[in-house]
Chain A
Amino acid sequence: MNQIDRQAPLSTDETRRKVIGLDSLTKDFGSVRAVDNVTFDVFAGEFVGIMGPSGSGKTTLLNILSLLDVPTGGSYRLDGVETARLTEAEQVVIRREKIGLVFQQFHLIPYLTAVENLMLAQYYHSMADRGEAMEALDRIGLADRADHLPSQLSGGEQQRVCIARALINDPALILADEPTGNLDEGNEERVMGLFKELQAGGRTIILVTHNPDLGAQTDYVIRLQHGRRVA
């Protein structure tokens, strides 16, 4: 753990600082190779798209990047630290300190209100602060829906709450898995606008999508097919 500075932001003015470094990364599920020898780097402040058809290994790759899964082979260095050497407890710390996750299915706790879902992320990070959580909801235009349960929110509203939750602890790296997959066009534009604002704020964003229009809005796209990087 001594190799990790938990407080050091990944995005700084050193825009060429390497945040993610993958080298020949491989992931097998039994005899099936989901990620096959993938290599790429992501630098601080970049907005990178990962695209590919269903079954191409996009989500598996994102799970590895977010430390929710471990590779079978190759190397994944996060902020200069070889993640294979991290203990589970150290991975938990990095997830809550440095990574914000946005899910296609939102994954809001159904019995907690919008603001409480944000406060849950604060609670696991440090301390729940309703005022701060309300400000976060206000920034995404949902302050008036703060005390609504997820079931009382539209899909677009739930996704915005999910994004607000991913940002509430000010992470430097945002990993989004098909964040607009369940949204209409209007909400899709709104979410992408949010991501661009975050990039402008210096955050590094990796967006998994199969939508070429969304991919076109990123700095560059990494394309996968059958687990391999093809572009």
Chain B
Amino acid sequence: MFVRMLRQSFAGNRKRKALAAITVALSAALITTLFALSVDVGDKMATEMKAYGSNIRVTPRSENMPLIIGGRDFNPLRGRDFIDEAGLPKLKDIFWRHNIVGFAPRLTLPVVAADQGSAPEFSLIGTYFDRNVPLPDDPGYRTGVRTVNPFWHVAGAWPADEAGDGPVGVLIGGGLAQRLGAAVGAELALAAPETPLATAAVVRVTGILTTGDIEDQALVAPLGFVQKLAGQPGKFQSIDVSALTVAENDLSRKASRGAEALTPEEYDVWYCTAYVSSIAHQIEEAIPGVSARPIWQVASGEGAVIGRIQSLLFVVSVAAIIAAAMAVAALTTTTIAERAAEIGLMKALGAAPWQIYLLFIGEAVIVGLAGGAIGVVAGYLMAQGVGWSVFGTGVDVRPITVPVVLVTSVITVLVGSIVSSREIASLLPAEVLHGRQ
């Protein structure tokens, strides 16, 4: 009979029920959109933030503090530890390998322009520009500074990573180009006084590089060329890694004091979450003898921005839920007033209060589920619209969104209904059925 009453109640009050469902659907759509954005904004923003460069630097564990002044590395090459180039593919073998957007090894060699007499030394940086690094599951994988540092601006052309005929192509930092009077197409003879062979080599400038950092006062060349000049084949000093990470929180901050500071349970959660610190930890596990350190200016900036955006979305979601609950409460109050005679009759026929509440709550649950289902679909479409208009790509609406929004919708409707259902208890059948004489 209860099911029959529910069915007939809906059949006989289509417009009012539809209005309630639409109210819930609007709220559910907003919640779906905001929830999807809230979950996905971390990835989206992390991807956007990759434009600001790498967020993890990998160096040999025994490496000294960097001593770079005015773009020149004052640490002597002799006696330094290096990282073996053959171990680079291991970066894409860690638990969070798919979050490694790219990496660029770096070998810095102090050089002088051979034809400039007593001109001061400057750095020759060897790296990958966009080089193929064959991986077991992706033989065509390419990476380098063009991926890791998309903000690098080159006036001219990017050099090739592999040596060809003629002088090796290099990028020259804007400041150094000005100092040396070099332009695109210029050839420079380099001498590397610190190397055992004191080798000299000629390079050709293919582009002027602007980074706003030390590269503005340096030459950037293919890694193989610099390794050969330095007499360190297959070696380099550091790796800049760009990884997609999630916002830092209390757990990751605790882990930053050392993984041993975590309980086993915390360690599992931390290890299986794409914190910059857990990815750095996994890099250290994958490549023996290295130290991977988050570049906290970048990592914490990402975390702060993403965290604030998620907080904002959460607040707006809560506001939407409260607004929907208030709307449903108003609607239910009106419904109860309109159905006062019906409620009074039920009481007169001997219905227990819970039986009357059950009917209204049953109706509320159905309205909540129907409105929630409509809202999920509408919210999915809205999220895609927002994703394309803001990030230029769709938003990944996780399956968990569906039950979360449905449950939220039902709870919202229940809260709204229960608040106004107090009217039922105070309704006197004598008043609504007979009136008083």
Chain A interface residues (CB < 8 Å from chain B): 29, 34, 54-60, 62-63, 66, 68-69, 89, 92-93, 95-97, 101, 103, 105, 107, 109-113, 116, 119-125, 128, 165, 177
Contacts and interface: CB of A to CB of B under 8 A. Distances in A.
B200 interface: no
A95 B433 CA distance: 15
23 contacts: A59-B434, A59-B436, A60-B430, A68-B430, A69-B430, A92-B347, A96-B351, A97-B350, A107-B341, A107-B344, A109-B342, A109-B345, A110-B342, A112-B4, A116-B4, A116-B8, A120-B349, A122-B1, A124-B351, A124-B355, A128-B1, A128-B4, A177-B434
A197 B389 CA distance: 77
Contacts of A112: 4-5, 8
Given A110-B12, A120-B5, A123-B1, A68 B350 contact: no
B436 A60 contact: yes
Contact of B348 (A95, A97, A109): A95
A123 B359 CA distance: 13
A38 B278 CA distance: 86
Contacts of A57: 437
B428 A125 contact: no
B335 to A, nearest CB: 13
B437 A93 contact: no
A101 B434 CA distance: 11
Interface in B343-389: 344-352, 355
Given A111-B8, A116-B4, A123-B1, A95 B435 contact: no
Nearest to A128: B1
Contacts of B437: 34, 54-60
Contacts of A54: 437
Task: For chain B, give the interface size range.
Answer: 20 to 34
Closest 10 CB pairs of A and B: A96-B350, A111-B12, A123-B1, A128-B1, A63-B430, A69-B430, A68-B430, A95-B350, A124-B351, A111-B8
Contacts of B348: 66, 68, 95, 101, 107
A119 B1 contact: yes
B344 to A, nearest CB: 8
B8 A124 contact: no
Contacts of B5: 112, 116, 120
B21 to A, nearest CB: 17
A69 B13 CA distance: 30
A92 B435 CA distance: 20
A66 B433 CA distance: 12
A92 B352 contact: yes
